[in-house]
Amino acid sequence: MSNTDLSIIIVDDLQFSRIVVKTALKKVGYNGVRMADSATEALAMIEQKRADVVLADWMMPEMDGLELTEHIRQRDEENGTYTAIILFTAHDGVEYLVKAFEHGVDDYLCKPPNPQELAARVNAAARVASLQNDLLETSRQLEKTIRNLKKMALIDELTGAGNQSFLMKNLNSHLLEASTRRGGVCMAVVELRELESITAAHGSFVADEIMISQHRRLRRAVRPTDVVARMDDNCFGIIMHHTKFKDYKPSSIERILSMINHRPYKTSAGNLSLTGNIGVQYYRGDEPKIAEFEMLRQAEIKLEQARRDPAASIAY
C-alpha cells in the first residue's frame, strides 16, 4: 500500500499536537491524513471511511486512548477488519507499554515524537494492518468456498434440486422419525422413458432443459414438505412423509405421473412429449426399521418392474 493510499486518523484534543504530527507525516508522503479533536469524532470518521492507522493521544477528556482502542477493536471484530493503533503519551516506563499492549495497542510513542521515528512506526503499523486485513479477507474467502462446497455437495447444479447425498440424508431422518412415531415414508423413483432417445436425437442441452422442467413439475406435483432430489441423468427421488401411515394414498403417486404425461415439455428443439415410470417403496413405522440404502434399492427394483410393463408405468 502506497503512502498516498494509506488512510490515517490523528486524534488529539490539542490542535498544536495534531498539526505537528500531520505535518511530519505529509513531509514523507502521507496525504490521506484526517484529524479529530476527540475520540468520539475519530469514531465517527471511521464509520464514514475506515482507517488503516489511528494515531491517538493516550490522555484525552471524555474518552482516552485506551477506551478508543477498545471501541475500534470492537468495531473491527464486528466488521471483519483490522486497524493499526499507535498511542502517544508523555508517560515513560515498561508498565505503560505493557498496559497499552494488553488493551490491543499496536505501538507506543513518547511525546513529542521524533519525525523520522514517527514515519517509520506508521509505515510498520500500516504493514501490520495490511497483513491482518489480507489474512481476514483470505479467511472470508475460505469460509465462502467451504459454504459453497457444502452446498454443492448436496445440491444438483443443473436443476437446483437436492442431489443423491441430500436424498439419502433426508431419507434416513424420515425413516428414523417414522419408526419412532409410527408414521410412514414413501420413496418414489421417477424417470422419463424417452429421455435417452431424445438425448441421442437432440443432444444433452435439450435433455438438460427437460430435466430442469421435470424438477419444476415434480415440485408442483408434491407437497411443500416433500423432498425432491435428482439422483442421476434421468431419475429423481421423492420422499413423502406421513404422520400416520394410513394417510398414504396411491393417488399422490398417480398425480405425479399425470403431471409428467399431461403436456409436452417446451425445449429449444420444440415441444417434446415424454412419459414417466415410477417405482414406489413404502415403509410403515410399525414394521422393523429399514436402512435408507435398502429403501432406495427396493424402490429401484420397483422402477425396473415399471419399465418392463409399459401399460402400468407405476410399480408399487
DSSP 31-67: --EEEESSHHHHHHHHHHS--SEEEEESS-SSS-HHH
Regarding whether 35 and 169 lie in a shared domain, the answer is: no
Q: Which of 128, 150, 172 is the last residue of a domain?
A: 150
**Alpha carbon 127 to its chain's center:** 30
Pairwise CA distance, residues 217 & 221, whole Å: 6
Q: Are residues 86 and 44 in the same domain?
A: yes
| C-alpha to C-alpha distance for 119 and 86, rounded to whole angstroms | 12
* 142 and 229 inside one domain: no
Q: Are 189 and 231 in contact (CB under 8 A)?
A: yes
Q: How many domains in the chain?
A: 2
**pLDDT given for residue 43 in this prediction:** 94
- Percentages of the chain per state (helix, strand, coil), in multiples of 5: 50, 20, 30
Q: Do 120 and 54 sit in the same domain of this protein?
A: yes
| CATH code, 271 | 3.30.70.270
Alpha carbons 305 and 237: distance in angstroms, whole number: 16
Q: Which three cell numbers stand for residue 301?
A: 427394483
* Separation of alpha carbons 20 and 185, rounded Å: 77
What CA–CA distance (Å, rounded) separates 136 from 123?
Answer: 20
What's the CA gap between 33 and 31, in Å, rounded? 6
The answer to whether 253 and 149 have CB atoms below 8 angstroms apart is: no
CA–CA gap between residue 277 and residue 227 (Å, rounded):
18
Look at residue 104 in the predicted model and tell me its pLDDT.
87
Query: Are 137 and 264 part of one and the same domain?
Result: no
Residue 240 lies inside a defined structural domain of this protein: yes
pLDDT at residue 1, as a whole number = 53
Each residue's pLDDT, cut to its tens digit, for the chain (316 residues) gives 555 678 999 999 888 888 999 999 988 888 889 999 999 999 999 999 999 999 999 889 889 989 999 999 989 888 889 999 999 987 777 777 788 888 889 998 888 888 889 889 999 998 988 888 888 888 888 888 777 766 678 889 899 899 999 999 999 999 999 999 989 999 999 999 999 999 999 999 999 999 999 999 999 899 989 999 999 889 999 999 998 878 888 889 999 999 999 899 999 999 999 999 999 999 999 999 999 999 999 999 999 999 998 788 999 9
Q: What is the DSSP letter of 183?
A: -
pLDDT, residue 173, reads 95
Domain that holds residue 125: 8-150
In CATH, what number is assigned to the domain containing residue 21? Answer: 3.40.50.2300
pLDDT at 193: 93
**How far is the C-alpha of 132 from the C-alpha of 236, rounded, in Å?**
47
